[in-house]
Homo-oligomer: A and B are copies of this chain.
C-alpha cells in the first residue's frame, strides 16, 4: 500500500478515536468477543502460537546471535523460545539511523502506519491471547481481551493523543502584525515536529501489551524509535508485537529498526545500561516500585513515565444489601489472582458494623458475607481457574503465606487444580483480618491473591487510612460503598487529595479493576503508584518538540 492509501484506509478510525478521547464515550474498533474474528481464527491463532514454541524467534534486527532466556509459563507448559541477543550500542545506533526518515514523515503518515500495525495485531488476536496467557498466567478470556483488543484500544488511544498534540499547531501560516500607519510586519511561519530521541519500553510480566503499547505507540507516532525490553519472564507477546511492527514499517518503506526487541535474563539484566545511554530520551516503565523509583530519580537525560504498584482500597460505609456488593467485590478481588495493579487489597470496614438497607449489620456479618461469597465463587475448580488464571512468580506465592502470618486468617487460600493444565499454579485469595492499628501488616503492597479486611473506628477513619496509604504507598483505584451523599462527597474529596480514581457502589458487571480506553484514565500520576497516566496529554506532549521556522514572504 502507498502511504496515501494507508492514510485513507485508517483516516476514519483515527477520526473516531480523536472524537472518543474528547467525549470520553464508549468506543472500540477492536472486538472484544472472540466470536467476532471468524470461524477459523481460533484454530489458526492457536497453531501460530504453538509453532513458536521450542523455536528461535527470528527478527531481522541487529543482534549477535540467538540466546536462551528465562521465560516460563505459569500454566506449566514448555515455551523454549530463543530470541536475538541484543547489543545495546548497535541497537541504539540502528534506532537513531531509523529515525532519520521517520521523524521527517508527516503526522498523518506516522499515524497511519501505527494504525496499520494495530490492525495487523488485531488479526493476530488469538495468537496473542495464547502468548499472553502462557507467559502471564492470565486465564484465556482475560488474555484474549486484555492482551489484544483492550491493549489495542489503549494503543490507538495513545496514537490519537500523539496525533492530536502534533497537529494542534498549524504546519504553516502567515503572521501579520499591524504597525499603525506603517506597513504591517508580515512573515511566514512553519512548525516542524522534532522527536525527542530513542525510547525504551521496559515491559511488565503481567500485562505486557496492555501496559506496553501506549508508551511505544505514543513514541512512534511522534517520530521516535522504540527499543522494547520485555520482562525476562514474559517475552513472547512483545516479541510478536515487534515482529508485526517491523513488517508493517518495512512494507511502508520505513526502516524496521524503528522497533526492536532487547531481551535479557534475571542473571544479566540490561535495563539500566539501556536507559542510561545518553541517546535514550524517553523511558516507559511498568513494574515494581523499587526499579520504577530508581528510574524516576536516576535517568536525568530522559523523560521517564512510570506505572508502579500501589495499595488499592475498598471502603464499606453503608449499602442497600450485602449480596449485590459481594457479587461484585468477590470477583474484583479474585480476577487473575489479584495480579492486576488495579485489584483491591484492603477492605476497610468500621468495627462497629455498617448500615445495610434499614438494618444494622455487624462487622463479622459483613466479613462473612464477603468470605462466604468468595468461597462460593471459587468453589468449583474449573470456574475458579477461569477467574483466577495462574500465578506468575514464586514471590507472589510466597506472599500468601506471608500475609497469613500477619493477622487473623478469615479465609484460607485454597490450591485449585486446573482441569486443562496440570502444571498450572492456581491459588484462591487468602483473606486476613487486621485491626487498623496494625499498619505494618496491611499498609504495604501485597501483590497477588491477598486481601486484608481492616477494622476501623469509622468510615471517616477508613478514608483517612486509605488516603494516607495512597499518598505514601501509591494507589490506582478506590471502591467506596455508601448510601450517604455526604460520605460520597467526602470520599471524592479524599480521592482527589490522594490522587486516586474512585468508583462508588459497583454491583453489576463493571469491576473497579477495569478501565476503558478513550474514557477512563489508568492511574493519575499523582501518587507513588506512578508518575504518568494512560493516556493523557502529559503522556505524549513531551515526546516531541516543535521547531519554528520564520521566512519573509517572497515578493
Contacts and interface: CB of A to CB of B under 8 A. Distances in A.
Interface of A: 22-26, 103-104, 165, 168-170, 173, 175-179, 185, 187, 189-192, 194, 196, 296-297, 300, 488, 492-493, 495-497, 499-510, 516, 519-521, 524-526, 533, 536-538, 541-542, 545-552
A448 to B, nearest CB: 25
Contact of A26 (B170, B177, B519): B177
Contact of A499 (B165, B510, B525, B545): B545
Given A501-B549, A504-B552, A505-B552, 20 more contacts: A26-B177, A104-B496, A185-B509, A185-B510, A196-B526, A296-B300, A297-B300, A499-B547, A503-B550, A504-B549, A504-B551, A506-B552, A508-B552, A520-B548, A521-B546, A533-B546, A536-B545, A536-B546, A538-B541, A538-B542
B26 A178 contact: yes
A189 B503 CA distance: 9
B179 A509 contact: yes
16 contacts: A23-B170, A26-B176, A104-B496, A177-B516, A185-B508, A191-B521, A194-B524, A296-B300, A499-B547, A506-B550, A510-B550, A520-B550, A525-B542, A533-B546, A536-B541, A538-B542
Contacts of A504: 549-552
A160 B28 CA distance: 32
Contacts of A500: 547
B526 A194 contact: yes
A192 B496 contact: yes
Contacts of A541: 536-538, 541
A521 B542 contact: no
Nearest to A491: B549
Contacts of A506: 550, 552
Nearest to A512: B550
A172 to B, nearest CB: 10
Contact of A175 (B169, B519, B542, B545): B519
Q: Is the interface of A mostly helix, strand, loop or mixed?
A: mixed
Nearest to A500: B547
Given A300-B297, A542-B538, A496 B550 contact: no
A3 B501 CA distance: 29
Contacts of A173: 23-25
A285 to B, nearest CB: 15
A504 B297 CA distance: 40
A297 B508 CA distance: 48
B168 A22 contact: yes
A24 B165 contact: no
Contacts of A488: 551
Given A170-B24, A177-B516, A194-B526, A165 B537 contact: yes
A501 B169 CA distance: 15
A185 to B, nearest CB: 5
Nearest to A192: B496
Contacts of A510: 185, 187, 550
B175 A495 contact: no
A502 B168 CA distance: 20
Nearest to A501: B548
Contacts of A516: 175, 177
A175 B550 contact: no
A548 B521 contact: yes
A3 to B, nearest CB: 20
A495 B192 CA distance: 10
Please list the 3 inter-chain residue pairs (A to B) with the smallest Cβ-Cβ separation, ordered nearest first. A538-B541, A526-B545, A503-B550
A492 B192 contact: yes
A307 to B, nearest CB: 14
A488 B188 CA distance: 14
Contacts of A501: 547-550
Contacts of A502: 547-550
A250 to B, nearest CB: 24
Contacts of A525: 542, 545
Given A499-B194, A526-B196, A549 B26 contact: no
Contacts of A194: 496-497, 499, 524, 526
A492 B552 CA distance: 14
A547 B496 contact: yes
B526 A547 contact: yes
Nearest to A184: B26
Given A495-B547, A547-B496, A548-B520, A25 B526 contact: no
Contacts of A524: 194, 545-548
Nearest to A33: B180
A21 to B, nearest CB: 8
A71 B369 CA distance: 70
A495 B194 CA distance: 10
Nearest to A525: B545
Nearest to A197: B526
Contacts of A550: 501-504, 506, 510, 520
A168 B18 CA distance: 12
Best-buried of A505, A516, A536, A546 by chain B (most CB within 10 Å):
A546
A494 to B, nearest CB: 10
Contacts of A519: 175, 189
